[in-house]
Amino acid sequence: MAKEVMPDIAIIDYGMGNLRNVEKALARVGGQPRIIASPEEADGARALVLPGVGAFGQAMDRLTESGFDRLVKDWVRADRPFLGICLGLQLLFTESEEFGPVSGLDLVSGRVVRFRGPAFEPDGDAPGLKVPHMGWNRLNIVNPHALLEGVLEDAMAYFVHSYYCAPDDPGWTAVTTDHGIEFTSAVARGNVFASQFHPEKSGDLGLTMLTNFVRLVHAAGSRG
């Protein structure tokens, strides 16, 4: 019997991602990830992953200079399997106010804004909520998606960020989380999913989501 060919998942390396942890986590759940340093290396891939940590503007500069911006736009618009992680979610939006406004990929209409408001301000002996939002927090699933299959309501995921995404169309929001305000912590539409939290750092929950991503890639490949 011929050995089953596993999904080929391209992970974009533009110098601003936690690539090895993402690569190891996808391999652990049965994917066949590979890190790519140029858009041409995505040829033959069945799925694309955009990770990222750091400043929005610098990330956009690197995506544009490398040509990865065009690859991501074409991929998402074609509804091919796509996973964005942390900054990889924020870059999909129209613009960010981080050292800006700075224009993003404009694949999801909306803005990336900093946590602010009364909940973050000192009040007597209470210091207010911390920014960055760092550590474990609960997920509230508001729009079911294939990547969320088997994820229990109020499951905990790992976050590290000072800015959050505010889509213009609430239909994009798949998951929300509360940190002083209720914010969009994941977006989804078709074969496209992107999360503010880190699946590769979120234990069993993250592995469940990445397993679902590999299954989605299989399913999309069998249809194509």
* The pLDDT of residue 3 is above 70: no
Would you say residue 131 lies in a domain?
Answer: yes
pLDDT in tens, 62-72: 999 999 999 99
Contact 184, 175 (CB under 8 A): yes
* The pLDDT of residue 222 is above 80: no
Is 200 an annotated catalytic residue?
A: yes
Decide: residue 6, CB within 10 A, 0-12 exposed, 13-18 middle, 19+ buried.
middle
- 104: domain CATH number is 3.40.50.880
Of 23, 86, 133, 161, the catalytic one is 86
Of 161, 179, 198, 218, the catalytic one is 198
Would you say residue 2 lies in a domain?
Answer: no
Would you say residue 182 lies in a domain?
Answer: yes
Kindly report the pTM of this predicted structure. 0.93
Total domains present in the chain = 1
Is 97 an annotated catalytic residue?
A: no
Would you say residue 179 lies in a domain?
Answer: yes
Q: Across residues 89-108, what is the average pLDDT?
A: 96
* The pLDDT of residue 1 is above 90: no
Cα 35 from Cα 196, distance rounded (Å): 21
DSSP state of 5: P
Would you say residue 88 lies in a domain?
Answer: yes
User: In the chain, pLDDT over 70 holds for what percent of residues?
Assistant: 95
Would you say residue 3 lies in a domain?
Answer: no
Of 95, 145, 200, 218, the catalytic one is 200
Would you say residue 1 lies in a domain?
Answer: no
**Structural domain for 27, as ranges:** 8-223
Q: Across residues 54-65, what is the average pLDDT?
A: 95
Is 40 an annotated catalytic residue?
A: no
